């Protein structure tokens, strides 16, 4: 049985201020925990059922390991569903001079929904991007719902805090944003290097950022829906980019 | 103040069995309610704040209207957030001989997550499809979370219950499914008429259905993510279709 101290500690890590104070975050569920172990991330502690520990003995050699019942894990976790494991990983270090290390990068401006953030991290991973640039005001990368929505991709994509000044400094790279008045994405010629700027769910790209865009693109619509979700739009734009790059 | 009877009635409609018994469903929130009013759907009753009723007097002429406080609406609704209005609409009629009435149609096989269903309905609407075909075992179209996730598109896209026999009968139309071994979607030539078959979140397309597919397509991957979400995959495939159709 897990002590109440341990459960309380894990529960405190549902909140950003406690995660940041210790520079750690929670990964809940078998798949995510294993992805974390197979990555460059450092695990501080693992809480898992006996059966998880038996099946994965090889990955837990040098760790603080605590056997826990499914019930304890449910109490300690942030989801309603039963999990076989919860791990505490150290957060990624923020680079001193962040810069895109792939031809394309994504910059999210005030994306508030953890599900959207997680889905975009999963997309970034699908399309081979190694980083995700996040403006002040974005939901925390380490939010448990965001981590869960990445479906393990939190282990392959590094979050980088960045702001409008950073974007300005990188403006030698093309800045592409989605805009109803933009060029049809099906006809758009992607530059060799670019940062794709995606705005908040409710307000899109803010005016100050919009002025700095070098290219505006539009996903053509054929029906009545008012908009696409920010994650969906990101996915469709990235697919169009890769289609062109590999044509 | 709303009577407890009314609040209980609305709360009962969070559940499929009560919705189906009366063939109605709930729409929660200002935007959705207005989309519903502007559609062919029939509204049975409207519960709304005084300020909503004042701003939208023109759309509520012949209706059972109940003024309600934000607090009552929260009690009656299925979400934590405050809503200005909740409406009870009649469900769409199931057609006797369902058939696709656009060149392309979507058939969902056991899609369980209401957010995914709602997002796909929104996509269908964006790409001009008027129907969504749903297998037995799909989450209910009228699930409150699914309705909310459509962002108003529930008012433009008609759900049609359909099964494997129906798909067989429509097999003169091409059946396209997503499959890791399929043709790269960037090189695929879409037929003039087709039904896009999308499988469940956890198991993909079931074996019986997979055998009936005439075409298999694959969204190319460039990184490490294991899969894309079913709604994301649907969006990317539909964008590729429209890109070709309008080239």
Chain A partners within 8 Å of B228 (Cβ): 122-123, 126, 235
pLDDT band at A104 (very low <50, low <70, confident <90, very high): very high
Residues of A20-34 as b/e, b for ≥16 C-beta within 10 angstroms?
eeeebbbbbbeebbb
Q: How far is CA B68 from CA A99, B83, B87, in A?
A: 53, 11, 12
Q: Which residue has the higher pLDDT, B151 or B168?
A: B151
Mean pLDDT of chain B: 92
pLDDT band at B126 (very low <50, low <70, confident <90, very high): very high
Residue A205: what pLDDT? 84
pLDDT band at B39 (very low <50, low <70, confident <90, very high): very high
Residue B101: what pLDDT? 84
Residue A164: what pLDDT? 85
Strand order in the sheet with B131-134: B158-161, B131-134, B104-108, B194-198, B174-184, B215-218
Residue B129: what pLDDT? 96
pLDDT band at A57 (very low <50, low <70, confident <90, very high): confident
- How far does B1 lie from chain A, in Å, by closest CA? 31
Closest alpha carbon to B178 in B159, B206, B204, B152: B204
Name the pTM for this structure. 0.94
Closest alpha carbon to B112 in B195, B202, B12, B28: B202
Just give the CATH number of A4-90: 3.30.1330.30
- How far does B34 lie from chain A, in Å, by closest CA? 13
Give the CA angle between residues B102, B106, B108 to the nearest 5°: 155
Whether B48 and B167 have beta carbons less than 8 Å apart is answered as no
Q: Return the CATH superfamily for domain B104-245.
A: SPOUT methyltransferase, trefoil knot domain (3.40.1280.10)
B221/A228 Cβ within 8 A: no
Helix pair angle (B230-245, A230-245), 10° resolution: 50
Alpha-carbon span A230 to A53, nearest angstrom: 38
pLDDT(B63) > 80: no
pLDDT band at A13 (very low <50, low <70, confident <90, very high): very high
Cβ neighbours around A222 below 10 Å, total: 14
Q: Which of A127, A225, A239 sits opposite B223 (nearest CB)?
A: A127
Interface of B with A (CB under 8 A): 115, 119, 122-129, 151-153, 156, 186, 219-229, 231-232, 235-236, 239-240, 242-243, 246-247
Residue of A112, A126, A202, A245 best to disrupt the B interface, most CBs of B under 10 A:
A126
DSSP string spanning A156-205? T-EEEE--HHHHHHTTTSEEEEEEEEEEETTT----SSEEEEE-BTTTBS
What residues contact A172, with CB distance under 8 A and at least 6 apart? none
Mean pLDDT, range A130-151, rounded to an integer: 96
Interface of A with B (CB under 8 A): 115, 119, 122-129, 151-153, 156, 186, 219-229, 231-232, 235-236, 239-240, 242-243, 246-247
Chain B partners within 8 Å of A225 (Cβ): 122-123, 125-126, 151-153, 156
- How far does A2 lie from chain B, in Å, by closest CA? 31
A235/B152 Cβ within 8 A: no
Whether B158 and B131 have beta carbons less than 8 Å apart is answered as yes
| Direct distance between the N- and C-terminal alpha carbons of chain A, in angstroms, rounded to an integer | 57
pLDDT(B210) > 90: no
Residue A65: what pLDDT? 87
* Span B73-87, pLDDT tens digits: 999 999 888 789 999
Whether A194 and A129 have beta carbons less than 8 Å apart is answered as no
B123/A228 Cβ within 8 A: yes
Percent of chain A with pLDDT over 90: 76
Chain B partners within 8 Å of A81 (Cβ): none
B127/A223 Cβ within 8 A: yes
Residue A239: what pLDDT? 98
Chain B partners within 8 Å of A230 (Cβ): none
Alpha-carbon span B135 to B91, nearest angstrom: 17
A242/B222 Cβ within 8 A: yes
Q: How far is CA B179 from CA A78, B105, B184, in A?
A: 33, 18, 10
Cβ neighbours around B175 below 10 Å, total: 21
Helices (H), chain B: 4-12, 16-22, 30-37, 50-55, 70-76, 114-126, 144-149, 164-169, 207-212, 230-245
Residue A77: what pLDDT? 93
pLDDT(A62) > 80: no
Residue B246: what pLDDT? 92
DSSP string spanning B7-38? HHHHHHTTSHHHHHHHTEEEEESHHHHHHHHT
Domain with CATH 3.30.1330.30 in chain A: 4-90
What residues contact A75, with CB distance under 8 A and at least 6 apart? A2, A7, A11
* Span A161-203, pLDDT tens digits: 999 888 888 877 899 998 888 999 999 999 999 999 999 877 7
A227/B127 Cβ within 8 A: no
Residue A183: what pLDDT? 96
Residue A8: what pLDDT? 96
Residue with the two structure tokens 């837990």: A60
Chain B partners within 8 Å of A223 (Cβ): 124-129, 156
Chain B partners within 8 Å of A151 (Cβ): 225-227
Tokens describing residue A228:
């696409």
Residue A60: what pLDDT? 72
pLDDT band at A34 (very low <50, low <70, confident <90, very high): very high
Mean pLDDT, range B96-121, rounded to an integer: 93
What residues contact A58, with CB distance under 8 A and at least 6 apart? none
Mean pLDDT, range A121-143, rounded to an integer: 97
Alpha-carbon span B106 to B153, nearest angstrom: 15
């Amino acid at each position: 049985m897990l002590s109440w101290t341990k459960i309380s500690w894990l529960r405190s890590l549902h909140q950003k201020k406690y995660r940041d104070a210790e520079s750690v975050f929670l990964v809940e569920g078998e798949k995510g925990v294993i992805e974390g172990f197979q990555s460059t991330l450092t695990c501080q502690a693992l809480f898992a059922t006996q059966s998880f520990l038996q099946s994965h003995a090889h990955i837990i050699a040098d760790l603080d390991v605590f056997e826990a019942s499914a019930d304890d894990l449910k109490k300690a976790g942030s989801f309603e569903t039963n999990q076989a494991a919860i791990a505490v990983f150290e957060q990624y270090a923020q680079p001193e001079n962040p810069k895109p290390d792939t031809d394309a990068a994504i910059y999210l401006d005030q994306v508030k929904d953890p599900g959207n953030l997680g889905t975009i991290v999963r997309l970034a991973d699908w399309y081979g991007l190694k980083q995700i640039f996040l403006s002040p005001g974005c939901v925390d990368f380490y939010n448990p719902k965001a981590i869960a929505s990445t479906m393990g991709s939190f282990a392959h994509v590094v979050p980088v805090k960045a702001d409008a000044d950073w974007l300005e400094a990188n403006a030698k790279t093309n800045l592409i944003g989605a805009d109803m008045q933009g060029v049809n994405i099906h006809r758009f010629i992607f530059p060799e290097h670019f940062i794709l700027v995606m705005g908040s769910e409710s307000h899109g790209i803010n005016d100050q950022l919009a002025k700095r865009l070098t290219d505006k693109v539009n996903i053509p619509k054929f029906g009545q829906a008012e908009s696409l979700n920010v994650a969906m739009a990101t996915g469709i734009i990235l697919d169009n980019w890769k289609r062109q790059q590999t044509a």
